[in-house]
Amino acid sequence: MVRSPLFPECELPSGYDRAAILERLGRVLDPELDEPLLQLGFIRSLEIHDGHVFVTLQLPTSWCAVNFAYMMAEDIRHALLGVEGIGAVSVQLGDHCAAAEIEAAVSAGKPFADAFAGEGGDGLAALRGVFLRKGFLSRQERLLRELREAGCSAAVICSLRIGEVTPEAETFVIRQTGAPQVKGGSAETLRRYLERRAEFGHDLGPNARLIVDPGGKPMPVERLEAYYRDARTVRVSLEANGAFCRAVLAKRRATAGGADVQS
Amino acid sequence: MYSHDGHDIFVIDGHMHFWDANPENWKTRHGESWIKCFHAFHSGLSPADEVWAFDKFCRYGEEVLVNDLFRSGYVDMAILNSTYLYEFYKNGFNTHLQNSVIKAKHPDRFLLCGSFDPRDEEAGFDAFRRMMAEYPISGLKLYTAEWRGGSRGWRLNDPWASKYLALAQESGVKNIHVHKGPTVYPLSADAFDVRDVDYAATDFPDLNFIVEHVGLPRLDDFCWIATQESNVYAGLSVAMAFVHLRPKYFGEIIANLLFWLGPDKLLFGSDYAIWSPKWLIDKFMAFELPEDIKQEYHVDLTLDTKRKILGENAARLYGIDIPAQSAKLRSDAIAAKRAG
């Protein structure tokens, strides 16, 4: 089973690339909260038998939305199938209200729309798109907040190029020609923002603008304030929702007792 | 009545329930898992000494409710948000039929919500008219994610929903509470997507739409709609519960609502018995927006604003004259027993 600070209890049989498993699993997000499942504590266990991985996904309640539960299970499967030596992935959802249907569909690689056709199911691509965009705005709001706190004016924020912002240890530093060097904010905030921009296929070359809209267009200075206010509300919505889910899950774990995977 | 520095604050609990989730009433396993999910919300976000055992939570009964709301909980009036869930509970979860019993005993204390289901189409019109004629219905509670046969929900902009809203308006209903909250069971898109409210609010400018749970986890989408539509209001249940465990987010949620909607459109709700008004109101009254949030959003949660949220805004929507209603309540059975 896997052992890591995020995932302390699992040990794997020899012959599997533990780092690759953790790295890939660590990238699977709750699409609605835009947070890694491992950090949310939603991954309860992981075992491998003869190349077949069994992952237990425990959500805060048995009524967590079926479409999002399906997406998480599907993403876990895709992430782990790419690891050498892993030939099959089963995601188990415990007492979730649609556990059996989701487990069967995901294991068979059956799309949500087919699995839940009788339930008004439809493709999930549009829904994924909406939440990737919300995640983008939320990540960007944190970066914008840090840039403002670092004393950057709207004009500076909109003029920054990716190459002028460099991670250094836990922070990032801003170096613009003809201006004094400025300590920016958290390197993790910058990394998460650029990660989502890479997923969107934005130009991330050193001369590309740092702050763009979700479509990759540069931000006009006069638009920044209103844009920031909107992004702020998106960030609060996502974070508050995440706090709600964590509180409910924590209580569920405490009530159920026993050893748990801690985030 | 909540008393602050000698001044009374009239409290309307805009969202509460008198449910029957006794095991005998469970129709399928979903009846059990539904109430367990509510109990998880209850125990996950309540202060430790306010957490109920599961048995009590399934069916707390009339006396406990009256006490928790009106005697210890500061509430003057409460809006019974009827919820049906006939697919999960044999007699329904807390239908207007069940709720009307407690309303009849304390007529000045409760405002009763009825409902409609557009999937009844034309066949349901007579039943809706009968409900309006036979029960003292003040508002409607719509639950767009309710299961029905093979259907897993409906939307406010469905053609039949518009016909029912028109019928409701003819019947004299002004206030429509719409449950848009933590996702439960979805259509493929998103059963708690709030955007359908936008269409209905535009088509029915004389109706008020109170979006319960402020659309959480869709707070952002809710704010955009409420900013555009003058007849969209924020029901604060669920959001209120953050005041205890996550006051930082409570402050940020309230600041956003004040920023986008202003102080006149926010309505207190406990979602009783998921959370209880006594501790919610104690903590809400003690809560102040942190200085950095005030400065960033240019809003404040003043005593006046708290008074609006706790009762004045709902009183305005429901046409309640607070001094006259307070006088009436001072001599009802609940007040008499409280004084005794």
Find, among A11, A55, A52, A60, the residue nearest to A35 by Cα: A60
Q: Copy the structure tokens of residue B326.
A: 């307070």
What is the pLDDT, as a whole number, of residue B304? 97
Cβ contacts (< 8 Å) between A134 and chain B: which residues? 220
Domain boundary among A74, A103, A123: A123
- Cα separation of B172 and B170, whole Å? 5
Which B residues, 229 through 258, put their C-beta within 8 Å of a C-beta on chain A?
Answer: 238, 242, 245-246, 249, 252-253, 256
pLDDT of residue B46: 97
Strand, coil or helix: B29: helix
B37: which chain A residues are within 8 Å (Cβ-Cβ)?
61-63
Nearest CA-CA distance, residue B79 and chain A, Å: 25
Q: What are phi and psi of B280, to 5 degrees?
A: -60, -45
Closest to B40 (Cβ–Cβ): which among A236, A243, A251? A251
Nearest to A240 among B30, B189, B253 (CB): B253
Q: Is the pLDDT of residue B137 over 80?
A: yes
- Contact in structure between B337 and B19 (CB atoms under 8 Å): no
Answer whether B153 sits within 8 Å of A120, measured CB to CB: yes
Q: Which residues of chain B does A122 touch, with a Cβ-Cβ cutoff of 8 Å?
A: 187-189
Q: What is the CATH number of the domain that holds A44?
A: 3.30.300.130
Name the residue of chain B whose CA is nearest to A59's CA. B37
Query: How far, in whole angstroms, is CA A260 from its chain's centroid?
Result: 21
The answer to whether residue A182 sits within a structural domain is yes
- Residue of chain B nearest A123, judged by CA positions: B188
Contact (CB<8Å) B252/A236: yes
Domain spanning B11-324 has what CATH number? 3.20.20.140
Chain A residues closer than 8 Å to B220 by CB: 134, 230, 233-234, 236-237
**What is the rounded distance in angstroms from the CA atom of residue B44 to the CA atom of residue A91?**
26
Distance, in Å, from the CA atom of B83 to the CA atom of B103, rounded to the nearest integer, reads: 15
Q: Do A60 and B216 touch (CB under 8 A)?
A: no
Q: What is the pTM of this model?
A: 0.93
Q: With a CB-CB cutoff of 8 Å, which residues 191-210 of chain B face chain A?
A: 191
Neighbouring C-beta atoms of residue A125, cutoff 10 Å: 11
Q: What tens digit of pLDDT does each residue of A226-238 get?
A: 999 999 999 999 9
Chain A positions touching B36 (Cβ under 8 A) are 61-62
Q: How far is A38 from chain B (nearest CA, A)?
A: 20
Cβ of B189 within 8 Å of Cβ of A113? The answer is no
Residue B215 vs residue B301, higher pLDDT: B301
Q: Are strands B77-80 and B110-114 parallel, antiparallel or unpaired?
A: parallel
Domain that holds residue A162: 131-227
| Chain A residues within an 8 Å CB radius of B249 | 236, 239-240, 243
The predicted pLDDT at position A15 comes to 84
| pLDDT for the residue A208 | 98
Q: Helices B219-228 and B195-203: crossing angle, nearest 10°? A: 20
Residue A9 in any domain: the answer is no
- Mean pLDDT in order along chain A per 10 residues (263 residues): 50 83 93 93 92 94 87 96 93 91 92 76 80 97 97 97 96 93 95 97 97 97 98 96 91 63 33
Query: Are B316 and B207 a contacting pair, CB within 8 Å?
Result: no
Do A23 and A113 belong together in one domain? yes
Same domain for A117 and A135, yes or no, is no
DSSP B41-104: HHHHHS-GGGPPPHHHHH--HHHHHHIIIIISS--SEEEE--B--TTTBTT-SB-HHHHHHHHH
Residue B334 — pLDDT band, cuts 50, 70, 90? Answer: confident
Q: Across the interface, which of B189, B249, B259 has its CB nearest the CB of A239?
A: B249
- Together in a domain, A110 and A41: yes
Query: Mind listing the pLDDT tens digit for each residue in B264-282?
Result: 999 999 999 999 999 999 9
Residue among A95, A123, A237 whose CB faces B217 most closely: A237
Residues of B with CB below 8 A from A32's CB?
Answer: 183, 217
Tell me how close the Cα of B237 comes to any Cα of chain A, in angstroms: 13
A63 shares its domain with A143: no
Residues B166-208: tens digit of each pLDDT = 999 999 999 999 988 665 554 344 666 788 999 999 999 999 9
Q: Which of B184, B245, B260 sits opposite A63 (nearest CB)?
A: B184
Are A236 and B40 a contacting pair at CB < 8 A? no
Nearest Cα residue to B234 out of B313, B142, B305: B313
- CB–CB of B220 and A243 under 8 A? no
Same domain, A54 and A135: no
* pLDDT of res. A259: 38
Q: Please answer yes or no on whether A95 and B33 come within 8 Å at the CB atom.
A: yes
Residues A140 and A100 in one domain: no
- The reported pLDDT for the residue numbered A193 is 98
Q: Are residues A139 and A119 in the same domain?
A: no
ipTM over 0.95: no
In sequence order, what are the beta bridge partners of B110? B78
Contact assignment for A124 to B34 by CB distance below 8 Å:
no
Residue A222 falls inside a structural domain: yes
What pLDDT is stored for residue A261 in this prediction?
Answer: 35
pLDDT of residue B151: 74
3-state secondary structure chain A: CCCECCECCCCCCCCCCHHHHHHHHHCCEECCCCEEHHHHCCEEEEEEECCEEEEEECCCCCCCCHHHHHHHHHHHHHHHHCCCCCCEEEEECCCCCCHHHHHHHHHCCCCHHHHCHHHCCCCCHHHHHHHHHHHHHHHHHHHHHHHHHCCCCHHHHHHCEHHHEEEECCEEEECCCCCCCEEEEEHHHHHHHHHHHHHCCCCCCCCCECCECCCCCECCHHHHHHHHHHHHHHHHHHHHHHHHHHHHHHHHHHHHCCCCCCC
Residue A53's identity, in one-letter code, is V
Number of domains in chain A: 2
Residues of A in contact with B40 (CB under 8 A): 60-61, 248, 251-252
Cα(A135)–Cα(A141) distance, rounded to whole angstroms? Answer: 10
Residue with the larger pLDDT of the pair B79 and B150: B79
**Residue contact A65–B185, C-beta within 8 A:** yes
pLDDT of residue A65: 84
How much is the pLDDT for B182?
60
Min CA distance, A22 vs chain B (Å)? 29
Q: Mean pLDDT for chain B?
A: 93
Among A95, A123, A151, give the residue marking a domain's end.
A123
pLDDT of the residue at B188: 40
User: Do residue B217 and residue A244 have CB atoms under 8 angstroms apart?
Assistant: yes
Greater model confidence, A4 or B314: B314
Q: Do B185 and A124 touch (CB under 8 A)?
A: no
d(Cα A237, Cα B2) in Å, to the nearest integer?
30
Cβ A229–B259 below 8 Å, yes or no?
yes
Q: What is the pLDDT of residue A118?
A: 64
Tell me if A238 and B217 make a contact (CB, 8 A cut-off). Answer: yes
As a dihedral over the C-alpha atoms of residue A163, residue A167, residue A168, residue A171, rounded to 10 degrees, the angle is 130
A91 within a domain of the structure (yes/no)? yes
Is A57 found in the same domain as A41?
yes
Residues A153 and A190 reside in one and the same domain: yes
